[in-house]
Chains A and B, each alone.
Chain A
Amino acid sequence: MSVTIGTAHERYDAAIIGAGVMGATTALFLAQAGMKVALIERGALFRAASGINAGTLTLHMTRAQLIPHAIRGREMWLDAARWLGEPVGAVSTHGLSLAFTEAEEALLRARARVRSEAGAPIEIISAGKAVGIEPGLNPGLRAAASCALDGHIPSYRVGAAYARALEREGVTLLEHGEVAQIATGNGGDHAIHLRDRAHPVHAARVVASGGAWLEKMLDWMGFAIPIRCLFNQLVVTEPMSEVMGSVISIANGLLSLKQFTNGSVLIGGGWQGEGTLEAGGTRVIPENLRGNVRLAQHVIPALRNAMVLRVWLGQEAETPDAMPLIGSLGPDDTRFVIGSVHSGFTSGPYMARLLADRILGGDPDLRAFDPCRFALPPATKTSSLPPTLS
């Protein structure tokens, strides 16, 4: 949707830059609370990482510290009709993480323990029991971690539900609006200048929610936080008869496997491709495609009969400590950030609700995500440390 801004002096309570799951959900909750919101997007709604990710609702691959958030995010997706206005095709399934070697089993047990202490209902089960749950599994496995809370969601379809919800809540969506600069004036007035548009968007608050673009966005606001951009490989097959019912991963987290309701199997797990921020994924690395597909076929041998339909690369943004950036960017409380959330699609709606709550004056616990934690120990200080301490 491309909306022409009527007057030069239209002013919003909040301008949100980046219309993926983080930004669009923040916009939605702020608008529901009565704010006048503009949602600005460089491309089109939900078409970058949020629209092309693996749509997993798993806890097996979630960082332990984020498990409570992922559980709440998962619940929100399953319950989208209530807060988004319509269901988005989320399906609740069982989740299995597998070990095929002794070392993997040790890793599986260690990780399951940490995740279960963080609140994920994960238990270790025998190979026989795992095959009972998922008959198509390679019987050569040693053990499995089983979680009752898992599932999947066709992420590409979600944007349509957001488009309708945003319109209903009166959010002004500006697609193909590339931000050139943000000028902050007196009284917390932010003038957001867009390329190819004569008038800037004025807003009392700015939220940076640009996913992989956050490093650049934070730089506009004077924050230098290096954000690494990953290019996660995804492989989808043609629809095939049922070969699996659970979401399956392996101990080290490098496989995610699920079969959607239309019969197509999605193979992911964070194997890397090449890409750039500007162009997105540019090259699938043949060795990684082969490795990822072999792993999938090893786990579910029936996949040897599958036809590969598409391979693509989805972006993921990661901070130096691999923890999210969510919160206020300064004491004036007019600039905020949300993003770099590991397994961000799963927990996205909940994370955005927390930020919206914070912007609206609430006090959710966002301490672990404070963007100011990176706020720069001056370089001189680090280098002056005595050698024994470094």
Chain B
Amino acid sequence: MKLDVNGKVHNVDVEPEMPLLWALRDELNLAGTKYGCGVAQCGACTVHVNGDPVRSCVTPVGSMAGKKIVTIEGLGAGKGLHRVQKAWVEHGVPQCGYCQTGMIMAASALLAKKAKPTDDDIEAAMTNLCRCGTYARVRRAIHSLAGNKVEADPAPAAAPNGQTI
């Protein structure tokens, strides 16, 4: 079976019903795409298929013929960081980072379709689960890419012990 991943065609010898996630992770060693639930609930396994965000844990490899798959490893297309990844760095989004590759794939697919998403658009597209609590920063990073107003952190304060924070 042929899989077009990140601009390269790979031959994989797997059952057609194998979810794309496991062909990527265990056959092609592309470990940036994560397993979280196996039932399309969490979005950690999000990849692009022909530009659409797809939950690879429930997407059979057999349905991928002729389709272009992009994973986190190929998002920058060999030209360094994708702008979503840059915004993620700038806004210090990741904590543990496990869900972040799925988040970044979902956000980049959203922005490719809608350059200036509203809060509602963002909430509708970003249904990924994050246990560390990066949601506010994810939202902020996407707004910054859309050129929307970004709420600032509370002003830093001088601590009584002389430490400036």
Specify whether A and B are partners: no
Listed in ascending order, the chain B residues whose CB lies under 8 Å from chain A are none
Listed in ascending order, the chain A residues whose CB lies under 8 Å from chain B are none
